[in-house]
Amino acid sequence: MTRGWRVLLVDDEPATLRSLQTAFERQSCLVEGCASGEEAIRRVQTGSRPDLILLESSRPGVSGLEALEKLRHLLPDTKIVMTSGNIDLASVVLAMQMGAADFLSKPLDEAGIASLLEHWLAGKDSPTAEAAPEPTAAKDDRVIELPNDVTFICACPAMLKLRQQAQVVASSDIPILLLGESGTGKEVLANWIHYCSSRAAKPFLKVNCAAVPADLLESELFGYEAGAFTGATKSKPGKFEQCNGGTIMLDEISEMPSALQAKLLHVLQDNEFSRLGARQITKVDVRVLSATNLNVQEAIAVHKLRPDLYYRLNGLSFRLPPLRDRREEIPFLMTHFMKRMAREISHPAPPLTPRLLEACLNYAWPGNLRELWHFVNRYMVLCDEELSLAELSGIAESTSSLANGLKSIVRAVKNDAEAIAITEALQQTKWKRKQAAALLQISYKALLYKMRQLDVRPPKPKP
């Protein structure tokens, strides 16, 4: 009956761990053992899906109750049984309130283990030893096409691991906070989480809290009744009602007004709210994903984010690395963007030359994927490699000068030198720009771009 059930044992005493492992294996269980709550959490985050967790409560490092709370968030349907060699009533009560299935005294004998398995797992229809089917991926598993014309590209170890972790936790309804710089792909990751969840057939909606005026955001989220305010001629459901049963992504959550953050906290706690101007309560079942590009602790310190809302939203957090830390993805992203743009403008993509690719790999991309997308679009429209290279060089200089005053001085000197060289070439060719471009060994468009950028103009004729 118990064959194939997965059991995760957490105990910092090696002898106890070995003894328990042997006893559970005799019951035909598939057993994993680890010495700390931290290790157990890491294993779950990276794909371990036990049917039962036996967690020692009084250990050094992360306490048993802290580990219980995190594991319950990660695996809400998994039975977690606490154990201790010194049980006190207060710990038992607290553990049960936090979701522990049971609290047992150590040591456990084989009869107790058999009884434990029979009690908590006998009703399971099938063991998790049979792996759940994974979402369908493209032939190249680095590129996955999602619904709504969304493509998830993961071509570096950090992003591949992030995608795997997100897929593991997608099956639960734990709130997830997505962190990272603007343009790193937080919305794409949110789409992936929704796609991998049991809510995939229901709506996925995104609300940018920074893009909607503060006085309209509440009605955008929760809707309103006719007559609720001037111009409200008929009732309208909000985003929470529209994606009932699905997933909502609240982007730039720290830009939400504090009063509305308090209302959102109530919705997260009770799954209910009232439309503006309504007397009745509306119940919803919505999984909430939130995102911010700010430092969360700083946002809390300056009162942009309520700490109680943060702790409610942060059941688990994922931080997306900036594009400069995942440069191996740039060729895949550029190829994908060029193919997509080619379809939109009905024009074949120009070649992605080694020279242009090298320049893109060496650029820091402070705007991340969003900046890369716009850069590729301009290249597709202009089809001028020299101009794109000049643009990339100019942006890099300008961006770096903002971060470092000394580099600003260097850029100014470089611009002066370029302006002098361009002026001399134009003077030598009597201001014939095509000949000057050939003399400088750059394209005609690149010369025009640099002339505009450096404000190089022919001398005014003498009166």
Q: Is the dihedral of CA 7, 12, 16, 18 positive or negative?
A: positive
Stretch 366-383: mean pLDDT: 90
Winning range, highest mean pLDDT, from 35-49, 82-96, 390-404: 35-49
Query: What's the confidence (pLDDT) of residue 363?
Result: 92
* Mean per-residue pLDDT over the chain, rounded: 83
Q: Where are the beta strands (DSSP E) in 245-385?
A: 247-251, 272-273, 282-283, 287-292, 316-319
- When pLDDT is cut at 50, 70 and 90, the band that residue 289 belongs to is very high
Between 399 and 391, residue with greater pLDDT:
391
Between 216 and 412, residue with greater pLDDT:
216
Determine contact, residues 303/345, Cβ cutoff 8 Å.
Answer: no
Stretch 152-169: mean pLDDT: 88
Q: Rounded to an integer, what distance in angstroms lies between the CA atom of residue 33 and that of residue 36?
A: 9
Query: Tokens for 39?
Result: 């290790």
- When pLDDT is cut at 50, 70 and 90, the band that residue 125 belongs to is very low
Other CB atoms within a 10 A radius of the CB of residue 346 amount to 6
Query: What's the confidence (pLDDT) of residue 461?
Result: 66
- When pLDDT is cut at 50, 70 and 90, the band that residue 320 belongs to is very high
Query: What's the confidence (pLDDT) of residue 206?
Result: 95
Q: What are the structural domains, with CATH classification, of the chain?
A: 6-121 (3.40.50.2300), 143-319 (3.40.50.300), 408-463 (1.10.10)
Its pTM surpasses 0.85 = no
Query: N- to C-terminal Cα distance for the chain?
Result: 103
Q: Give the CB-side neighbour count of residue 102, counting CA atoms within 13 A.
A: 16
Stretch 210-233: mean pLDDT: 87
Stretch 237-250: mean pLDDT: 94
Assess whether pLDDT exceeds 60 at residue 409: no
Query: What's the confidence (pLDDT) of residue 122?
Result: 63
- When pLDDT is cut at 50, 70 and 90, the band that residue 136 belongs to is very low
Assess whether pLDDT exceeds 80 at residue 299: yes
Closest CA to 218 of 248, 266, 263: 263
Assess whether pLDDT exceeds 70 at residue 87: no
Q: Rounded to an integer, what distance in angstroms lies between the CA atom of residue 218 and that of residue 74?
A: 30
Closest CA to 77 of 46, 42, 53: 53
Between 382 and 272, residue with greater pLDDT:
272
Between 433 and 446, residue with greater pLDDT:
433
For residue 117, the SS3 value is helix
- When pLDDT is cut at 50, 70 and 90, the band that residue 462 belongs to is low
- When pLDDT is cut at 50, 70 and 90, the band that residue 353 belongs to is confident
Query: What's the confidence (pLDDT) of residue 129?
Result: 36
In this predicted structure, which of 23-27, 279-283, 294-298, 399-403 has the lowest mean pLDDT?
A: 399-403
- DSSP assignments along 232-256, one per residue: --S-B--HHHHTTTSEEEEETGGGS
- When pLDDT is cut at 50, 70 and 90, the band that residue 68 belongs to is confident
In sequence order, what are the beta bridge partners of 291? 178
Closest CA to 221 of 253, 269, 186, 192: 253
Q: Rounded to an integer, what distance in angstroms lies between the CA atom of residue 224 and that of residue 286?
A: 18
- When pLDDT is cut at 50, 70 and 90, the band that residue 124 belongs to is low
> What's the helix, strand, coil split of the chain in %, to 5?
50, 15, 35
pLDDT in tens, 248-267: 999 999 999 999 999 999 99
pLDDT in tens, 2-61: 456 888 988 888 888 888 888 888 877 888 888 888 888 888 888 888 888 988 876 555
Query: Residue type at 62?
Result: V
- When pLDDT is cut at 50, 70 and 90, the band that residue 130 belongs to is very low
Query: What's the confidence (pLDDT) of residue 134?
Result: 42
pLDDT in tens, 171-206: 888 899 999 999 999 999 999 999 999 899 999 999
Assess whether pLDDT exceeds 90 at residue 232: no
In this predicted structure, which of 65-79, 137-151, 408-422, 438-452 has the lowest mean pLDDT?
A: 408-422
Winning range, highest mean pLDDT, from 226-235, 355-364, 388-397, 445-454: 355-364
Q: Rounded to an integer, what distance in angstroms lies between the CA atom of residue 379 and that of residue 371?
A: 12
Query: What's the confidence (pLDDT) of residue 397?
Result: 57
Q: Rounded to an integer, what distance in angstroms lies between the CA atom of residue 6 and that of residue 122?
A: 13
Determine contact, residues 71/316, Cβ cutoff 8 Å.
Answer: no
- When pLDDT is cut at 50, 70 and 90, the band that residue 425 belongs to is confident
Query: What's the confidence (pLDDT) of residue 139?
Result: 45
